[in-house]
């Protein structure tokens, strides 16, 4: 499968714990995005990388959220000191740069449940 891969698919954690999610984009894509989706809502943009550079992070929900893409390939999203309100689906997407309007391809997401 050469699509966007996210791991784990499901994560249950206790409130206050830290969690980290991984995203492996389509190999030739240099743009990578993180979104969050809560029940009944459309996905909400969080952050964006072009190669290893994080070019937009102002939409990260709080300073408990951080993302990295150290070598310009896979990315991780970390949530520190999780809260019940962090329960959501976290989606990763990737796209190619250098062409007009290239579409984003999404992974299947990581569903986080904070108990």
Partner 1 sequence: DAKTTQPTSMDCAEGRAANLPCNHSTISGNEYVYWYRQIHSQGPQYIIHGLKNNETNEMASLIITEDRKSSTLILPHATLRDTAVYYCIVRVGGYSGAGSYQLTFGKGTKLSVIP
Spacing of C-alpha 72 from chain mean position: 14
- Under rule CB under 8 A, residue 31 binds partner 1: yes
Residues numbered 56-95 forming contacts with partner 1, rule: CB under 8 A: 56, 91, 93, 95
Shortest Å distance, C-beta 34 to partner 1: 11
Shortest Å distance, C-beta 68 to partner 1: 17
Q: In angstroms, how far is the first alpha carbon of the chain from the final one?
A: 33
Q: Other C-beta atoms within 10 Å of 86: how many?
A: 21
Q: 41-64 b/e with 16+ CB inside 10 Å = b? A: eebeebbbbeeeebeeeeebeeee
- Under rule CB under 8 A, residue 39 binds partner 1: no
Shortest Å distance, C-beta 69 to partner 1: 14
Q: By the criterion CB under 8 A, which residues form the site for partner 1? A: 4, 31, 33, 35, 40-45, 48, 50, 55-56, 91, 93, 95, 97-109
């Amino acid at each position: 499968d050469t699509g966007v891969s996210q791991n784990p698919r499901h994560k249950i954690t206790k409130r206050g714990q830290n969690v980290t999610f991984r995203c492996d984009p389509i190999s030739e894509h240099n743009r990578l995005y993180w979104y969050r989706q809560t029940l009944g809502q459309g996905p909400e943009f969080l952050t964006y990388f072009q190669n290893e550079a994080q070019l937009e992070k102002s939409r990260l929900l709080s300073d408990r959220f951080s993302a990295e893409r150290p070598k310009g390939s896979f990315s991780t999203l970390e949530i520190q000191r999780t809260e019940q309100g962090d329960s959501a689906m976290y989606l990763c997407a990737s796209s190619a740069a250098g062409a007009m309007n290239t579409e984003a391809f999404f992974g299947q997401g990581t569903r986080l449940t904070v108990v």
